[in-house]
Each structure stands twice: as structure tokens, then as C-alpha cells.
Amino acid sequence: MIRLTVFPTPENAALAAAERVVAAIGAAESEGRTAHISLAGGTTPHRAYQLLADRLTDVNRVDWWFGDERCVPPDDPESNYRLARETLFDAAGVPAERVHRIRGEDPPDDAARAYEDELRACLSSGANGVPVLDLALLGLGEDGHTASLFPGDSALDVTDRLALAVVAAKPPPNRITLTLPVLRGARLVLVLATGTGKADAVARVLAGPNPATPASLLGDASAELLVDAAAAR
Ligand code: 6PG
């Protein structure tokens, strides 16, 4: 089962997420590798990114990816890239060439396929031929979605793609998401969820794998659920 770690406050949970990202970067560096980290969208990771920006020591040892993106331009308020740029990349001085944006401004399927090509070009793959992220930082929707993998979506069953264009239940509807094989293949999966609104989804994730709760399908070997006391209720 996915490991659960409960923190007293959202701030504690955000700090723990930031520290785990820093640790994953250090682990890759100790193996002589550049770390590849995918970031979550939404609002929850905002503080974690601010704390992470203060803790990055070598911005040239890590490349940044996205678990999903909305099909909007990069300067759109709904853009997950814009959130990360404003809270992490600009604050930490991350070089542009270290950021692998999903091109939300392009036709969705074109953007998904271009992102797949970039993943394959930059990451080494596991035995199953799937590129391996060092860490996938994800959020959790109240309906149990993660990235842009929503309950009942056929995207949950796709195993021959790394990224997909989907139509989501959460606005904006048109999105591109990493698929489960990529997320499950990461060396570490961190799901960050805070607030009472996420308590039910947290409970469903802990109840075991169920396509009605996509985040419950992330696997358990290398997955950790970071929550505050409110989301653990
Ligand atoms: C997105 C996110 C999505 C998010 C959850 C939680 O693009 O919307 O990737 O999966 O993590 O919906 O969103 P909040 O953090 O805003 O609650």
C-alpha cells in the first residue's frame, strides 16, 4: 500500500515535499546523474515550490518536467508551467534549458507526442522501455484524480503512450497528462494533499487500487502520500 505520512500543518507537508525533492536530486547526483523531476499543477504545491526554491543548491543538476498541463499558453493564469515559473524557476534562477514545458499552446495531440519524444530523448528507460523519472510530485483531486488522469477515463488503461491529450472533468477541460506507466515507473512518487476537502480522496487512495480513484493506481513500492492533519481526518 502507498506509504502515508501525516504532518500537523500544510506548511509542514509542503516543507517535507520540498526536502524530498532536494534529497532525490542529491541521490541522482551521487550516482553521477542529472535528476529528472516532474511537477504537479493546481494550487497545493505553490508553497512547496517556494520552499524548494530556497533549497536548490545546484540548478544545473536537475531538469524539470510536468505531470500534466492545461492546453493554454504558458503565460495563462491556468498554466501549470506559469505556476512553477513564478514560484520556483524564477526564484531559484533555473536555466530555461532545464525546463521541459508541455506546449499547451499547440494542438493537444501534437504537444503530447512532442513531450513523449522529449522524455525519450532526455531520460534513460527502465526494462519496460518507459523513461524513468527520479521523482514525480503529484497532487490529488477531491474526486481522486491525479495529474490529469480522471476517474473512468480510458487514459487510465493506456500502456503504449507516455503522454496523452485528454478532456478533463476539472476545468480547463483540454489537458495533456503523463500516463500511469510513466508515473508508476518513477523512482519516487510523492502525492501532496492538504485540507479537509481532500480527506475523502485520501481515504479512497489508502483503501487500495481502484480505477474510480486514479491516484490509488500509482503503485505502492515507491509511492508516498504526504498529507496534513485535515486531509488525514
Ligand atoms: C492540475 C493538477 C491536478 C491537481 C489536483 C489538485 O493540473 O489541475 O495537476 O492534478 O494536482 O486537481 O489540485 P489543487 O492542488 O488545486 O487542489
Domains annotated on the chain, with CATH: 3-228 (3.40.50.1360)
The H or E element spanning position 3 is strand 3-7
* 178 DSSP assignment: E
With a cut of 90, say whether residue 116 has pLDDT above it. yes
Contact predicate 227/193, CB 8 Å: yes
Cβ of 178 closer than 6 Å to ligand 1, yes or no, is no
Please check the confidence at residue 226 and state whether its pLDDT lies above 90: yes
Is 79 touching ligand 1 by the criterion CB < 6 Å?
A: no
- Which of 68, 79, 202 should be mutated for ligand 1, with most atoms under 8 A from CB? 68
Q: How far is CA 2 from CA 11, 72, 184, 201, in A?
A: 22, 32, 12, 13
127 CA to middle of ligand 1, Å? 30
Q: For the chain, what is the radius of gyration of the CA atoms?
A: 16
Report helix angle 46-53 to 10-30, nearest 10.
Answer: 50
Distance from Cα 166 to the centre of ligand 1, integer Å: 15
How far, in Å, is the centroid of ligand 1 from the Cα of 141? 6
Phi, psi angles (nearest 5°) of residue 136: -115, 110
**pLDDT for the residue numbered 219:** 84
**pLDDT of 157 strictly over 80:** yes
Helix (H), strand (E) at residue 204 = helix 199-206
State the pLDDT at residue 80: 98
* Whether the model pTM is above 0.95: yes
What does the pLDDT average to over 98-121? 98
Q: What pLDDT shows up at residue 220?
A: 73
Residue with more model confidence, 59 or 219: 59
| Ligand 1 neighbour 40 (Cβ under 6 A) | yes
Cite the beta strand spans of 40-110 per DSSP E.
Answer: 62-66, 68-70
CA distance linking residue 63 with residue 13, whole number of Å: 23
Kindly state the cell numbers that stand for 122: 532526455
Q: From 66, 71, 145, 174, give the residue whose CB has the most ligand 1 atoms within 8 Å, as the site to mutate.
A: 145
Mean per-residue pLDDT for 162-176?
Answer: 96
